[in-house]
Amino acid sequence: MCGISGIWEFKNSVDKNILQKMNKIQQHRGPDDSGTMLTNRVGLGHQRLSIIDLSPKGKQPMSNENNSIWITFNGEIYNFQTLREELTKKGHRFKSDSDTEVIIHGYEEWGVNVVKKLRGMFAFAIWDSNNKIMFLARDRVGKKPLWYYKDKEKLVFASELKSLIQHPEIPRMINKKAISYYLSLGYIPHPISIFENIHKVEPAQAIIINQKEIKKYNYWNYEFKPTNKSFEQLKKELRTTLSEAIKLRMISDVPLGAFLSGGIDSSIIVALMSRFSDKVKTFSIGFEEQDYNELPDARIIAEKYNTDHKEFIVKPDAIKILPKLAYYYNEPYSDSSAIPSYYLAQITRKHVTVALNGDGGDENFAGYDRYTIDNFYKKLYFKKTLSRLSKFIPEFTNKHPLRKLKRVLQIANLDGKEQYYDFLKTFSRQEKTKLMLNQELADLPTQNIIFDEMQKEKEFVNQALFADIKYYLPCDLLVKIDIATMANSLEARSPFLDQEVMNLTMQIPWQYKLKGFDKKHILKQTFKDLLPQHTIKKPKWGFGVPLPHWFRNELKEFTHDTINSQEFKNRKLFNTNECNKILEQHTTRKQDNSFKLWNLLCLEQWYSIYVDGERISL
């Protein structure tokens, strides 16, 4: 895993100092080595985290034999050995044992179609000097990030926004629509970014750029094609395919382990890893608050498979970590599970360089409550009455079962897509109208971004799965794990997001994934011989932190001072009275507004660092 950057000046020479600044600011993504390639018009940068072929031969940027093709690459190609054999038979000669060189020779052989051959996680840029094109590509589900800016004079790209804006000629004009989307979702959906004219390469997207135009296309599409195969046959294929995906991801020239939460997904990963390794290294974190502590569940799996298990109790300092998260996440981002993810990655990196995880299990096999809502509400009568009854249920912490009941009743009168969106949103359209000073921005229909994707499927469960894989997975969850791990120079690998696993899950009828209210049904049935009944029956927990408690205690004064500060008011974004009302409702337990408050804090902290230029200690 690495950090990449590059500049193509169409008229002028590349400034070496700018390229080096862009490269250096991403050193956390690759502290093992640094490299640049510079010609008159093109410059490529690379920060290396050495995983495969630790020798100097794996150094990047890397070129072909005559230096006509150059690449800067971030990621891992798990089928590189197979591709290497195929290319060798076609006459290609290799000078290293790295997966990077396979992409170069693959480009020579197959052109831009090389991307269709790659099985792994990646974001790369190839400079083809013969054809004067820059080829950008990103993996199928968006595990590795890639940002870019293009005007009439230049193209600039990088793994992270903070690298891109080191170029002094890139304007930093705030995209106000992006702020409205962020308030709704807690993230900014691709392809836009927090800055106007800076874009994200989308998952499964390839971009061919010359001086005159940009050609974008998707080289892979996620679409459901239910098979007629039996449940038992699909179970066999799932077991074989996921096992292979895990085995491929255990190829490494550096120490390797796994995140273990004790949930179904990470437990399956560890169980299968144990079949390929004598002593799997596993890592778990917990909190002093028992409602947020999964250590006992993780310990059950660690003991069952005799792993080399390390667990840690962390005491998060929210005020101290907030500026770090705002800096590392590049643009406003308010998924509070970024906090435990950061601490887990930090602790894990002290022992290994690569960690497998269970990301993608919920999105592939229908693991969230929101997938069950359509089936549930079809069985309800008197929906309007039930919706009114929700007002009489008091507020509880987000781990309390009555909180879930209250939310279920609140949305009883909405249609399926609106119910799904309600599970995702932070601020509703109506709440933004009260909160935001710019009513045109407040009225932006963020939900239509999601609904447009859902319309591509007929069945509700497939609609929800499709929307999650299109937006929630790449824009929220995969951003979280990439930044949390890369901030600590740790590589994360996700077997559930292997393309062959996903190609298989696209064929599995949704009725096998969700049987009544039994979420992940086929996954549980496939691996029930490997997991204790406790693990299979345990309700989904989620990787959370005690935000409700924090905002009534240690974050209360800090939040009050922030939303009443002159800097906050000078943004001219929000009605200060409404912000204070949101805080007051929470501290007096009238309403749980913890996610809303965290959303506002993260946004203001981002402004302080990326707009005001506030320096922070990392």
Sequence-separated (6 or more) residues with CB below 8 Å from residue 250: 256, 273, 276, 277, 356
Cα(576)–Cα(570) distance, integer angstroms: 11
Structure tokens at 170: 């890139």
**What are the phi and psi torsion angles at 334 (to 5°)?**
-130, 25
The residue type at 367: G
Tell which residue, 230, 232, 204, 229, has the closest CA to residue 218.
Answer: 204
Annotated catalytic residue 475: no
User: 315: which residues sit within 8 A by CB, 6+ positions away?
Assistant: 287, 288
Task: Considering the candidates 2, 475, 579, 602, report the single residue annotated as catalytic.
Answer: 2
Which residue intervals of 249-337 are DSSP H helices? 264-273, 295-304, 318-328
Q: Are 502 and 403 in contact (CB under 8 A)?
A: no
Element at 136 (helix H, strand E): strand 133-138
With residues binned 3-state (H G I as helix, E B as strand, rest as coil), the percentages for the chain, rounded to 5, are 45, 15, 40
Please state the three-class secondary structure of 559-612 as a single string: HHHHHCCHHHHHCCCECHHHHHHHHHHHHCCCCCCHHHHHHHHHHHHHHHHHCC
- Check residue 366 and give left, alpha or beta (phi > 0: left; psi -120 to 50: alpha): left
Phi, psi of 173 (to 5 degrees): -95, 120
- Catalytically active residues are 2
